Amino acid sequence: MSAWFETLRRESLLVLRKKSDVLNPLVFYLLVISLFPLGVGPAPSILARIAPGVIWVAVLLSVMLSLERLFRDDYRDGSLEQMLLSVNGGAGLILAKVMAHWLMTCVPILILSPLAALLMGVPDSAVSAIMLTLLVATPALNMLGAVGAALTVGVGRSGVLLSLLILPLFIPVLIFATSAIDAAAMTLPYIGQLSLLAAFSAGAITLAPFAVIAALRISVQ
């Protein structure tokens, strides 16, 4: 257990020491969102209508952008190989790495999301729904994305490939998250969609680490 916390601490510190890894996805997130009022016109009625989709697509893209770093540096300097060989190199290690990544990249996005909602003119009733869907569903995005990152870590220049592998798997999350926000904007209950998103996350957290390990074993061999 202490090894687990140690990994979590190490990963978080590593991200914090290299601030661009935290800041770039955040800036990207706000940038993508601010492109839409410029692109489709600033009429509040249109913006409020497309806001859930825009915010969530921006989240998907910035999560994907941030995922590339998850195993890259450890793979390059060989410490990933040592981690996998160590006694603690099981699913727990992967869980700690991804959780640290989630804390450092998705939680800031979560905190920024009311600002994004304000920019897009989302009705007040939906702001909490945006935050709840982000809180519940981003762990699933990170775990699925970790599988993709692990599969492509040994491949040079993997950015486009990673998006081809991962975005199709993100689509169910996108559908249920936007439908939850739409329901909230019309002050309807959205607990059903939220429960499904939570189920996605629970499934991904329990199963994906094993896929990640199998994928990393291929990359480092």
What tokens appear for 132 in the block?
Answer: 């709840």
| CA geometry: angle 69, 177, 105, nearest 5 deg | 25
Rounded to whole angstroms, the Cα distance separating 92 from 213 reads 10
Nearest approach, Cβ of residue 53 and another protein (Å): 12
Kindly state the smallest distance separating residue 218's Cβ from another protein, in Å. Answer: 5
CB atoms within 10 A of CB 8: 17
**Which CB, 59 or 204, lies closer to another protein?**
204
CA 5, 133, 125, 61 dihedral sign is positive
Torsion of Cα atoms, 189 then 137 then 173 then 97, to 10°: -170
Contact (Cβ atoms closer than 8 angstroms) between residue 40 and residue 50: yes
Shortest distance in whole angstroms from residue 171 CB to another protein: 6
Spatial contact of 44 and 55, defined as CB atoms under 8 Å apart: no
Q: Which is nearer to another protein, 44 or 90 (CB)?
A: 90
* Minimum distance of another protein from residue 204's CB (angstroms): 9
CB closer to another protein out of 106 and 144 = 144
Residues making contact with another protein (CB under 8 A): 144, 147-148, 151-152, 154-155, 158, 161, 164-165, 167-169, 171-172, 203, 208, 211, 214-215, 218-219, 221
Stretch (H or E) spanning 44 = helix 44-67
Q: How far is the CB of 196 from another protein (least distance, A)?
A: 10
Q: CB under 8 Å to 87, separation ≥6 — which residues?
A: none
Given the complex with another protein, which of 18 and 76 has the nearer CB atom?
76
Which is nearer to another protein, 34 or 158 (by Cβ)? 158
Name 210's Cβ contacts closer than 8 Å, sequence gap at least 6.
Answer: 91
Question: Which of residues 133 and 219 has its CB atom nearest to another protein in the complex?
Answer: 219
Q: How far is the CB of 55 from another protein (least distance, A)?
A: 19
